[in-house]
């Protein structure tokens, strides 16, 4: 192989690093929705984890976070290219909007339905091994609730792409500090925190969850690839996962 250093070789998509003669396989990740509540945590987790050699982010403008592994791709969602996924092992899709922010059903679906499917197809065509996507608790293509129905349709369409591995995360209400103020979700956070002690037994799965914990669960799932082609991870399972203790 040409243009390779003594300590690092490019082998297919995986980067091989050598430390004291031992071969260490490192991966390349790409994240859409990297500036959002969950995505911003995920960027930091992946950059700090030694399993990843490169972390690409698709964003409309640069992040305030900087790291040697970070590669920024400035694009609007309709400008994303298949070539952006070249050499990627894990694709993390953290896209998500609200009807209020989007302004219309059409605009909402562009973010929560069309974009994830389009990028899922690009990932498939580029041989990405694992797509990990955030959906929502209650996602169901047959639901009468519009939001849940759109998330359910997204899940179904991604499942038909026959990716080597697809992991779908269904969190409950996400907790954390957002860049933009969302009144409905803010009220929901307060209510869920007050009522948390009441969510026991069968109701425990409805407890709100920290976005940081969802991001940590996504990374751990990518590092410990599921056996099944399609895996659904519910909010309660994410909450049970070893707490995220990385300091950044």
Using 50 as the pLDDT threshold, list the residues of the chain that sit under it: 1-12, 181, 185, 188, 191-192
Give ∠ CA 98-67-124 in degrees, rounded to 5.
Answer: 55
The residue behind tokens 């409950």 is 172
User: How confident is the model at residue 218, as a pLDDT?
Assistant: 97
Query: Could you say which DSSP state residue 17 is in?
Result: E
From residue 202, give the alpha-carbon distance in Å to each of 45, 207, 211.
31, 11, 22
> CB–CB of 54/114 below 8 Å?
no
User: How confident is the model at residue 10, as a pLDDT?
Assistant: 47
Query: Could you say which DSSP state residue 139 is in?
Result: -
User: How confident is the model at residue 7, as a pLDDT?
Assistant: 44
The reply to whether the predicted model has a pTM over 0.75 is: yes
| Domains detected in the chain | 29-240 (3.40.50.720)
pLDDT tens-digit readout, 151-183: 999 999 999 999 999 999 999 999 987 555 455
User: How confident is the model at residue 201, as a pLDDT?
Assistant: 58
> CB–CB of 26/15 below 8 Å?
yes
pLDDT tens-digit readout, 113-156: 999 999 999 999 999 999 999 999 999 999 999 999 999 999 99
Number of Cβ within 10 Å of residue 184's Cβ equals: 10
């Amino acid at each position: 192989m040409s243009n390779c250093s003594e300590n690092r070789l490019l082998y297919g998509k995986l980067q091989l690093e050598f430390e004291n003669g031992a071969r260490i396989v490192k991966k390349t990740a790409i994240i859409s929705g990297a500036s959002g509540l969950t995505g911003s945590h995920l960027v930091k987790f992946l950059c700090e984890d030694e399993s990843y050699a490169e972390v690409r982010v698709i964003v409309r403008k640069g992040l305030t976070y900087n790291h040697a592994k970070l590669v920024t791709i400035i694009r609007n969602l309709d400008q994303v290219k298949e070539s952006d996924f070249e050499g990627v092992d894990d694709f993390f899709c953290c896209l998500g909007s609200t009807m209020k922010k989007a302004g219309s059903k059409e605009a909402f679906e562009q973010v929560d339905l069309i974009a994830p499917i389009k990028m899922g197809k690009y990932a498939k065509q580029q041989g990405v091994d694992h797509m990990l996507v955030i959906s929502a608790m209650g996602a169901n293509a047959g639901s009468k609730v519009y939001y849940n129905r759109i998330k359910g349709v997204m899940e179904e369409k991604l499942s038909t792409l026959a990716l080597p591995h697809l992991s779908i995360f269904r969190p409950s209400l996400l907790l954390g500090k957002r860049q933009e103020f969302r009144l409905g979700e803010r009220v929901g956070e307060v209510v869920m925190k007050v009522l948390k002690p009441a969510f026991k037994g069968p109701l425990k799965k409805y407890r709100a969850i920290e976005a940081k914990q969802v991001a940590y669960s996504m990374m751990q799932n990518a590092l410990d690839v599921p056996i099944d082609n399609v895996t659904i991870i519910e909010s309660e399972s994410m909450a049970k996962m070893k707490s995220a203790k990385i300091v950044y």
